[in-house]
Amino acid sequence: MVGQIQKFFKQTNIKHMYLFILLLIIMLALMIVTNYFTKVDRFTEIDHNQKIIYFGQTCDLQNNQVSKDYSVGFQLAFQHINRNGVLDGYKLKLILLNDRYETDLAITNAKTLIEYYHVLAIIGTFGTPTTVGIFDEAIQTRKIALIAPFTAGTSYRSVFNKYRIYMNTDFYIEFELLLKSLMENNFKNISVIYQNDIYGNYFYNALVDYFMELNVDINIISSGHYERNSDHLDESIKSVFSIETPYFFDNYKDENTNNIDAVVLFTAEKEISSYLGGLKRIKPDIAIYYNFFTGTRKTNLEYLDNENTDNIYQSLISLPIDKYPVLKGVLNDEISLHNNDASAKIDDDINSSLIQGFYSGLMIGEVLKNFNDISEVNRESFTDMFYKMKMIDIYDLSVGPFELNVNSEGVRHGELNQLLPDLTFKTVKEINKT
């Protein structure tokens, strides 16, 4: 009996030993397979097997066409770079995520691009609140560049940080153009409508400070605001004109309405057409100024067909491509090539944001071309190369100088454009510090 028991345990232990060895083999195999597949080159800055360099973009692909067009500009630039070659035959790949112009989602997307996809740099974010959120919560002290954010915000420009590389100037150029026009036209009483977030509030407060510091004879007699990504603009109209029923137009014939010479809009693209049409219906002779963040698509003017279009101005801080014919020709060629192959065509109404995205994307290619060997490229060296090059030539356009510890803005240009009766714009004022 005792011998039978010993024999049973001996057989059982042998079975357990074989089972343990089998499980160990399976675990080792899983570890090898897992390590192989999780170490695919997509999760590194550069895939040396496929010869791909990865970049990441998080922007609004849902609420604002100006943001979608901005991303298309980068995609066209990468298309051009990949066809013509950049460095050792490597190609550029854009990992694109939609943040819907919502700060929390933009932060999550940026962390995913940095930590999971391990991109070489983040490019082309859209909006001040989203970009500030990414700076504060995602990038922090990480040594990775954020290149060409679509923002005129100044909160991070006062202190130099080499990882923030801008391709447009701050909004003080827009303020300067606005003030000159207001004074020339003798518009002394203005109202301000702004987006109720870090973008709009900062613009509004900075404008007030700007007027006070210069001690100008201009009065902000009312203001109104709306929530980001909202179609509900009633409260802002009611606040500006001090009325209870915003769409009962007889209400606007009072003294307060007549005192308003001009309205300054700090809005995103989604809301601009409604404001332009509505304000001109309320008071046909009122002047309206709106900023670069709305883009230049003709849909912004869709409610002005039967309204007075006098004294409508838009400020822009992206470069006018007509002044760079070689660059314009390259862009037109890329659009034609894209439209020949893609189901989603790029229409003739080219947004200023698409142009800015295009030359910003080409700039990235020029920086990579300046390396002697692909082995030299990493997040830190890529960022440093901007400041080693200082001036970057993009066909007939030169941007910079990028100066270490001094300047990280490639373009310092602004213009004020006035709407004409045929719904086209002409430039009436320009500032160029590039």
Tell me how far the alpha carbon of residue 422 is from its chain's centroid.
Answer: 30
**Which residue type, as a one-letter code, is found at position 197?**
D
Q: Which helix (H) or strand (E) holds 418?
A: strand 413-419
Q: How confident is the model at residue 366 (pLDDT cuts 50, 70, 90)?
A: very high
Q: Measuring CA to CA, how many Å separate 95 from each of 42, 55, 176, 190, 341?
A: 10, 6, 37, 43, 20
Judge contact between 87 and 48, C-beta under 8 A. Answer: no
Q: Please check the confidence at residue 313 and state whether its pLDDT lies above 60.
A: yes
259-269 pLDDT per residue, tens: 899 999 999 99
Q: Please check the confidence at residue 2 and state whether its pLDDT lies above 80.
A: no
Q: What angle do CA 320, 323, 326 make, to 5 degrees?
A: 110
227-259 pLDDT per residue, tens: 988 878 989 998 998 877 666 656 665 555 678
Q: Helices 352-369 and 65-84 meet at what angle, rounded to 10?
A: 30
Q: Could you give the CA distance from residue 158 to residue 227 in angstroms, rounded to a whole number?
A: 27
Q: How confident is the model at residue 38 (pLDDT cuts 50, 70, 90)?
A: very low
Tokens representing 222 are 């009312």
Give φ, ψ of 300 to 5 degrees: -60, -20
326-356 pLDDT per residue, tens: 999 999 999 999 999 888 899 999 999 999 9
251-301 pLDDT per residue, tens: 665 555 678 999 999 999 999 999 999 999 988 999 999 999 999 999 999
Q: Could you give the CA distance from residue 313 to residue 402 in angstroms, rounded to a whole number?
A: 31
Question: For residue 307, what is the DSSP state?
Answer: S
Q: Would the pTM count as exceeding 0.85? A: yes
Q: What is the pLDDT of residue 158?
A: 85
Judge contact between 327 and 366, C-beta under 8 A. Answer: no
Q: What is the pLDDT of residue 33?
A: 45
Q: Could you give the CA distance from residue 299 to residue 303 in angstroms, rounded to a whole number?
A: 8
Nearest to 64 by CA among 300, 239, 283: 300
Coil, strand or helix at 176: helix
Judge contact between 353 and 269, C-beta under 8 A. Answer: no
Q: What is the pLDDT of residue 434?
A: 67
